Amino acid sequence: MTGYNYETFSSDEVDFHARGGPEIGAKAPDARVFDTTGEPCQLLDFEGDFLVLEIGSITCPLFQSRRKSMGGLRDVASVVLYVREAHPGADIAAHRTLDHKIASARCLVYEDGETRRVLVDDLDGTAHRAYGGLPNSVFIINRNGCVVFKSDWNDPTATAKALQALRGSRPIRAKSFFRPARPSVAIHTLGRAGKGSVRDFLRSFPNLVWKNLIKRNLRVLLGRPLDVAGDIIC
């Protein structure tokens, strides 16, 4: 299968220059998704003042390396949107059916112990595309359905600081830098995906370092966080 559900990873598959998805202060897209039993539901159906929405998959080393920290966020609605496999291999392959995708999400819950609510995007990645299409982005959405914080790569420390600032009605000063996955997590995650996953990752590694660790982090360092009120109406 080609297109959205690529069978082999290449850095060309992901547009790292496009900061897509809803901008801060804009309406967050809602979408029909599925829980891990296969029941349909709405992505933005949550209780409380804020929703922390993280994009991920079981074959994404970045996502896997951040799960423990993200699971530590307390007293806030927190959801993982399960999307295409970031680094598919022979053992955890690109999704061919919705049932296959839901089964992968169930592995995240029952094998990896994910404690947050996991919602599964449709096979074509409708919600994922609406939120920019990157493998581990994060959004904080308020009860009015507005995006009040976003980062194309999740930095759990910055995300937690942003949430704390929003709760305290303070300006967001946190800068969300790209931080590579711990080597042990990356090796385990890619090895678990099976033959092809490590090879494809290593082929793209220099490009990933240049685009994210260097170019993106420099842009974040020199930029200023965009700040909106936590209770904004959009």
Whether residue 137 is predicted with pLDDT greater than 50 in this model: the reply is yes
Mean pLDDT, residues 145-159: 96
Q: Is residue 77 part of a domain?
A: yes
Contact 194, 6 (CB under 8 A): no
Q: CA 165 to CA 13: how far, in whole Å?
A: 35
Q: Is residue 234 part of a domain?
A: no
Supply the CATH number for residue 133's domain.
3.40.30.10
Mean pLDDT, residues 33-58: 98
Q: Is residue 16 part of a domain?
A: yes
- The pTM score is 0.94
Whether residue 22 is predicted with pLDDT greater than 80 in this model: the reply is yes
Q: Is residue 114 part of a domain?
A: yes
Q: Is residue 137 part of a domain?
A: yes
The domain tally of the chain equals: 1
Mean pLDDT, residues 41-66: 97
Q: Which domain holds residue 93?
A: 11-171+186-222
Q: Is residue 5 part of a domain?
A: no
pLDDT score, position 99:
98
